[in-house]
Amino acid sequence: MIRFRILGAGGAIPTPTHTPAAYWVTVDGTGILLDPGPGALVRLVQSGDAPDGVDGIELVVLTHLHPDHCADLVALLFALHSPLTESHEPLRLFGPEGLRAYLEQLAQIYGRWLEPRHRRLQITEWALPEALDLPGGGRIQPFAVDHPQDRLSRNGCLGYRFVDHQGRVAVFSGDTGACAELTTAATDADLLVVECSAPDGLGVAGHLTPTEVGRLCAVAQPQRVVLTHQYPAAAAADLRAGIAPHFDGPVIQARDGNLFYVPRESGEENPWSAP
């Protein structure tokens, strides 16, 4: 079973309902902090999904190193430096090439303040098509997407397929423009959480508009679609109207706090938009 909590349904510019990228995904019970953008820790603790707070975070997965997707990595590591934390479990970080250099450069700024007090840090830069096997038979599979690279990630940015022990799939696009890799990854997915940064007419390179999401879904035919990474203009628009001419499956325009299950369960928390 996969549980996909939208902690932040926005992009770099926060609004009251759409804060920067942050997600808490559980695959067969394994918790994954996906893209700790600004405010991720606060929103995770507020969500109730991590009752042990930062002590309960053991696996962090990054799509890329832009600040709206990873700024709270600093907050997390600084919190784990506190002697008040109790967990001695390793903290595993997975991200694109450049993650290690990013952390080394943070250490130039903060010194030992970002070294977890009790926990060993395990850093992995994905080597595609590498995957991570999870307890219980699930796995995380990264794939390349099309987004402007930062200075450290020469291999660019990533999306992810989360697969549970029964082969059910939730796909997260990360930040991307239309690309074949995303279409392939999303094909027949049970849940596609896809960025839709701007309404049609305001699209920018490396991001998706409703029409582009619609064309993607027309080919990939995911079972359900959740729109995220909405900048303010997108959050204020009816994005689903731009998708409908291309794709007639269920599409939800996410807001912070929405919760989705694969397979779908009645406990989903999507009070703002009907599928």
Binding site for Zn ion (CB under 5 A): 68, 175
Is 195 in a helix, a strand, or coil?
A: strand
Q: Cβ 135 to Zn ion, closest distance in Å?
A: 30
> Which DSSP symbol is given to 13?
S
Distance CA 91, CA 112 (A): 16
Q: Cβ 174 to Zn ion, closest distance in Å?
A: 8
Q: Write the CA distances from 14 to 55, 137, 184, 224, integer angstroms.
A: 26, 36, 31, 25
CB-wise, 91 or 158, nearer to Zn ion?
158
CB-wise, 15 or 187, nearer to Zn ion?
15
Q: Cβ 141 to Zn ion, closest distance in Å?
A: 21
CB-wise, 138 or 177, nearer to Zn ion?
177
Residues 255, 256, 261: CA angle, nearest 5 degrees:
85
CB-wise, 65 or 132, nearer to Zn ion?
65
Q: Cβ 21 to Zn ion, closest distance in Å?
A: 6
* Closest to 259 (Cα-Cα) out of 93, 23, 56, 36: 23
CB-wise, 163 or 235, nearer to Zn ion?
235
Identify the bridge partners of residue 2 per DSSP, sorted by sequence position.
Answer: 27, 262
Q: Cβ 169 to Zn ion, closest distance in Å?
A: 23
For residue 41, give every residue at least 6 positions away whose Cβ sits within 8 Å of its Cβ, in sequence order, or none: 54, 72, 75, 76, 79
